[in-house]
Amino acid sequence: MSVTIKEIADIAGVSRGTVDRVLNNRGNVNPETENRVKEIAQRMGYRPNRAARALATRKNPIKLGFVVPAEGNSFFDDVIKGLNKQAMKLVDYGVSIEIRTIKGFDVEKQLDIIEELINLPINGLIITPIDDEVISKKLKELSENGIPVITTNSDISNANRLCYVGSDYYKGGATAAGLMKYLIKDNGKVGIITGSLKMLGHRLRVDGFIDQIKKSKINVDIVGIKECNDDNFQSYEVAKSMLTQNPDIEALFIAAGGTEGICEAVKHLELGGKLKIICFDLIPSVKKFMKMGLVDFTISQDPEYQGWKPVELLYDYLVNEVQPQKEHYYTKTEINIAENI
């Protein structure tokens, strides 16, 4: 038989209203009393009535916000595909999702979209955040006002989010460094092109690469780290400039988006087959360039998971009062070559 709120209240010596406030995180309860109620509920194996809560959700619909830098970045096509699959499962439970996309990493634009979603209003937010103090402060404010936040694809510092879903960027960078030693000679020169150092994930990937290179048994000369804002037009110009100014570069490490533009620059400079390239994600353009012999390795990070898992976690938190079991829900790190795509 399931444990009731009344039974917990009787044992704790408090009212049912107090137990309800504690179990539903509504506040206004003495910390000592709150801890006692939670301890008793856990000991007795209390579980919320999920069927009743689902019915209540139909009567009081839940609206989630979803913000990603998807414009001009085809990686997010599969993220949104995963999101939509999960959204379809929850539509009968009164859950809707407001998707907002932006291009690049403009702090003010992202802040404006967050404000727009708050004014709808929304009950929870899933976001690929720019790692900026302004965004961090806003996400903290949401959490303090009862709007839980889950970060996806890239995390943020000091924002009180529930959890993060996405790639282990540092591990991804270290993996790329491990692959690089098979592609270049000792004392080889490598250029790094990333999306934006405003993004925590992009910084961690570069850090993981550089740290692992330092630990390896080969000497690698990193000639520069350039940003392309995950934009194929910018990445074309950045790659063309880097390779023209450093004609002895043997390999490129592409730490974020913009691979298509970079490969077009490599083709333009007639370096295909001579220059080694390691990048991320198994998007259609990367598959094409791998089959052409321009990309040697790509490291994939399960984009659909980054779309559906945050929705599942946020729904469970809002409706079933289930806290995420982990702080980081990392995707699998998979290495792809032309022969296994």
Mean pLDDT of 10-36: 81
More confident residue, 185 or 252: 252
- pLDDT for res 320: 78
- pLDDT for res 26: 60
- pLDDT for res 115: 97
For helices 259-268 and 232-245, the axis angle rounded to 10 degrees is 40
More confident residue, 332 or 191: 191
Report H helices in 64-106: 75-90
More confident residue, 218 or 147: 147
Q: Give the tens place of pLDDT for each residue, 47-86.
A: 766 555 555 555 678 999 999 999 999 999 999 999 999 9
* Pair of tokens at residue 31: 């910390």
Mean pLDDT of 295-321: 94
CB burial class (10 A; 0-12, 13-18, 19+) of residue 68? buried
Residue-averaged pLDDT of the chain: 92
- pLDDT for res 48: 65
* Pair of tokens at residue 178: 């491990």
Distance CA 85, CA 44 (A): 36
- pLDDT for res 227: 98
Strand, coil or helix: 149 = strand
Q: Would you place residue 265 in the very low, low, confident or very high pLDDT band (cuts 50, 70, 90)? A: very high
Mean pLDDT of 179-198: 93
Distance CA 282, CA 341 (A): 8
Mean pLDDT of 162-168: 97
Q: What global pTM score does this model have?
A: 0.82
Report H helices in 91-168: 107-118, 133-144
Q: What residues contact 182, with CB distance under 8 A and at least 6 apart? A: none
Distance CA 309, CA 318 (A): 14
The least confident of 29-33, 59-63, 224-228, 274-278 is: 59-63
- pLDDT for res 52: 53
Mean pLDDT of 169-193: 94
What are the angstrom distances between the C-alpha of 94 and each of 34, 64, 119, 247? 31, 11, 19, 58
| DSSP label at residue 277 | E
Mean pLDDT of 263-286: 95
% of the chain surpassing 70 pLDDT: 94
> Residues 70, 71, 72, 74: what is their CA dihedral angle, to the nearest 10 degrees?
30
